[in-house]
């Protein structure tokens, strides 16, 4: 006897089920919400950065504003929004490994999401070398987890993955990078059961973003190509140096976080504020030395380098220091965009030293290699830089630079930074319990 009538009846029941339609509508609404909030977050981040430059009409004001702003932000985060500190991507990764649904909900609550957004904006208004992209991942994961509760869906881990991918896609207008990021960095594997959720969430969040701000390239357009020998010589140099410096960034952040964690445990309230104050002071000093270039995300500096404008040789090392200080200070904020700007500074320096034919292309190689060295996600690095700059002719060189950067980084720092930070976060949660 054929099973065809039974299968058709089952498919019909699934198609017209009121419960399943409620789940679908809630999921779709959550994905669109991620796109809308990501766009609003991006616009507010731009305004916060401009507010900082307005407040600092005299460069020396930053020596007061930035350390005090860091101190207040870290205190508010620790007191009222514990778990909001740092990037947000480690929290989303950690939430996927937690089996306790109540604890998972605390990490990705809407209340924490609100605090994450507001304090990230406050950090940018104080000149912190942070980005909004990591926090957008946590925001996206939290929104989709809340949708799971409303829609009574059981695949919480899959929805966290989908929300994270949607956050990356909407934050950068890079749908392919959002999907690759979910597979390569968030889950570290292709999960057939959640692939549909990730794809639909990315599409809907991307459509919401396109509807609000239109199609755009995050770092503008770059039509450069590697055409002469010296340009191809620069590729392995970018890969090796990007991998070394990316691994150095990761090791430095992890070691400082471990030390400050032990120090803060001795006297939590006082030491949280002291660590943040020192971090803010370092950021302010880097800003003074660089003429204000190292404050904020570094987006404008990187965009100008991609499009062919010059960049100071001091930018990359000073931005490196400022980003480490901001990341380890205990304030909410990511290092996605600052990392890309450091890579742009690295590529610009290599292009200037070698007198290459296509400096814009070498900037892209530096960004890709350094980012791959930091996060150890080479495919994501190549795809996201290709999408953000419309660099269709650079796909193979970007992938080669990312693979070299990744390989060199793995030798120096065996564990991915985001996953190592997620492990530190989980250890902290266990100590609190």
For 363-390, what is each residue's pLDDT tens digit?
999 999 999 999 998 988 998 888 888 7
Q: Are residues 130 and 101 in the same domain?
A: yes
**Distance from C-alpha of 74 to C-alpha of 331, rounded to nearest angstrom:** 5
Q: Are residues 202 and 302 in the same domain?
A: no
What is the pLDDT at residue 1?
45
Q: Are residues 125 and 242 in the same domain?
A: no
Whether 358 is in a domain gets the answer yes
User: Could you tell me which residues come within 8 angstroms of residue 374 by beta carbon, excluding any fewer than 6 positions away?
Assistant: 246, 247, 249, 250, 335, 339, 409, 417
Q: Which residue has the higher pLDDT, 22 or 271?
A: 271
Instruction: Name the 3-class secondary structure at 332.
Output: strand
In contact, 302 and 340? CB cutoff 8 Å: yes
Of 12-21, 66-75, 323-332, the range with the lowest mean pLDDT is 12-21
Whether 118 is in a domain gets the answer yes
User: Two tokens at 52?
Assistant: 């900082």
Look up the CATH number of the domain holding residue 160.
1.10.3080.10
Q: What is the mean pLDDT of residues 198-216?
A: 77
User: Two tokens at 129?
Assistant: 């070398």
Per-residue pLDDT band at 431 (split at 50, 70, 90) = low
Show the DSSP H helices in 56-155 as ranges.
62-80, 89-97, 101-107, 110-125, 133-151
Of 113-122, 123-132, 145-154, 173-182, the range with the lowest mean pLDDT is 145-154
Q: Are residues 241 and 113 in the same domain?
A: no
What is the pLDDT at residue 17?
54
Asked if pLDDT for residue 242 goes beyond 90, the answer is yes
What is the pLDDT at residue 274?
96
Q: What is the pLDDT of residues 276-286, one digit of tens each?
A: 999 999 999 99
Whether 221 is in a domain gets the answer no
User: Two tokens at 101?
Assistant: 């649904």
Q: Are residues 200 and 308 in the same domain?
A: no
Whether 301 is in a domain gets the answer yes
Whether 224 is in a domain gets the answer no
Whether 218 is in a domain gets the answer no
List the domain range (segments joined by +) for residue 324. Answer: 229-432
Indicate the residue among 179, 213, 247 that finishes a domain.
213
CA angle 197, 202, 203 (to 5 degrees): 100
What is the pLDDT at residue 103?
81
Q: Are residues 201 and 331 in the same domain?
A: no
Summary mean pLDDT of the chain: 85
User: Two tokens at 392?
Assistant: 């269709």
Rg from Cα positions in the chain: 22
Sign of CA dihedral 209, 323, 295, 122: positive
In contact, 139 and 34? CB cutoff 8 Å: yes
Whether 9 is in a domain gets the answer no
Q: What is the mean pLDDT of residues 49-71?
A: 94
Q: Are residues 180 and 263 in the same domain?
A: no
Asked if pLDDT for residue 29 goes beyond 90, the answer is no
Q: Which residue has the higher pLDDT, 294 or 394?
A: 294
User: Two tokens at 362?
Assistant: 């070498």
Q: Are residues 373 and 234 in the same domain?
A: yes
Whether 4 is in a domain gets the answer no
Q: Are residues 237 and 207 in the same domain?
A: no
Q: Are residues 201 and 75 in the same domain?
A: yes
Look at residues 303, 329, 327, 301 and name the one whose alpha carbon lies nearest to residue 315: 301
Q: Are residues 79 and 147 in the same domain?
A: yes
The number of distinct structural domains making up the chain is 2
DSSP class per residue in 6-46: HHHHHHHHHHH-HHHHHHHHHHHHHHHHHHHHHHHHHHHHH
Q: What is the mean pLDDT of residues 256-269?
A: 90
Q: Are residues 283 and 155 in the same domain?
A: no
Indicate the residue among 188, 213, 238 that finishes a domain.
213
**Distance from C-alpha of 71 to C-alpha of 270, rounded to nearest angstrom:** 10
Indicate the residue among 185, 213, 241 that finishes a domain.
213
């Amino acid at each position: 006897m054929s099973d065809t009538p039974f299968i058709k009846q089952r498919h019909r029941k699934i198609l017209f089920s009121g419960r399943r339609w409620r789940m679908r509508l809630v999921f779709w609404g959550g994905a669109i919400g991620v796109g809308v909030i990501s766009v609003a977050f991006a616009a507010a981040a731009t305004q916060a950065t401009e507010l900082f430059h307005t407040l600092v009409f005299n460069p020396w004001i930053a020596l007061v504003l930035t350390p005090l702003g860091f101190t207040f932000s870290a205190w508010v985060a620790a007191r009222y929004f514990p778990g909001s500190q740092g990037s947000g991507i480690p929290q989303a990764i950690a939430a996927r490994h937690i089996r306790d649904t109540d604890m998972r909900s605390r990490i990705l609550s809407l209340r924490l999401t609100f605090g994450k957004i507001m304090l990230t904006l406050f950090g940018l208004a104080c000149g912190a070398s942070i980005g909004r992209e990591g926090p957008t991942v946590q925001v996206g994961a939290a929104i989709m987890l809340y949708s799971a509760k409303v829609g009574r869906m059981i695949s919480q881990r899959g929805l966290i993955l989908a929300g994270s991918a949607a956050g990356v896609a909407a934050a950068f207008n890079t749908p392919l990078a959002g999907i690759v990021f979910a597979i390569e960095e968030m889950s570290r594997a292709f999960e057939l059961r959640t692939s549909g959720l990730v794809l639909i969430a990315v599409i809907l969040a991307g459509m919401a973003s396109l509807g609000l701000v239109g199609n755009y390239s995050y770092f503008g357009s770059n039509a450069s190509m590697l055409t002469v020998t010296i340009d191809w010589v620069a590729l392995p140099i970018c890969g090796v140096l990007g991998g070394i410096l990316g691994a150095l960034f990761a090791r430095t952040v992890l070691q400082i976080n471990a030390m400050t964690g032990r120090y803060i445990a001795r006297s939590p309230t006082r030491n949280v504020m002291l660590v943040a104050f020192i971090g803010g002071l370092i950021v302010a000093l880097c800003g003074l030395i660089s003429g204000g270039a190292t404050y904020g995300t570094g987006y404008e500096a990187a965009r100008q380098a991609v499009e062919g404008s010059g960049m100071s040789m001091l930018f990359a090392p000073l931005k490196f220091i400022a980003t480490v200080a901001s990341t380890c200070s205990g304030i909410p904020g990511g290092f996605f965009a600052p990392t890309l700007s450091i890579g742009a500074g690295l590529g610009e320096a290599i292009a200037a030293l070698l007198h290459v034919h296509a400096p814009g292309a070498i900037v892209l190689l530096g960004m890709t290699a350094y980012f791959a060295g930091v996060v150890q996600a080479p495919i994501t690095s190549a795809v996201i830089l290709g999408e953000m700059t419309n660099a269709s002719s650079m796909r193979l060189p970007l992938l080669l630079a990312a693979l070299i950067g990744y390989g060199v980084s793995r030798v120096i720092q065996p564990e991915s930074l985001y996953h190592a930070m997620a492990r530190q976060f989980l250890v902290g949660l266990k100590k609190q319990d």
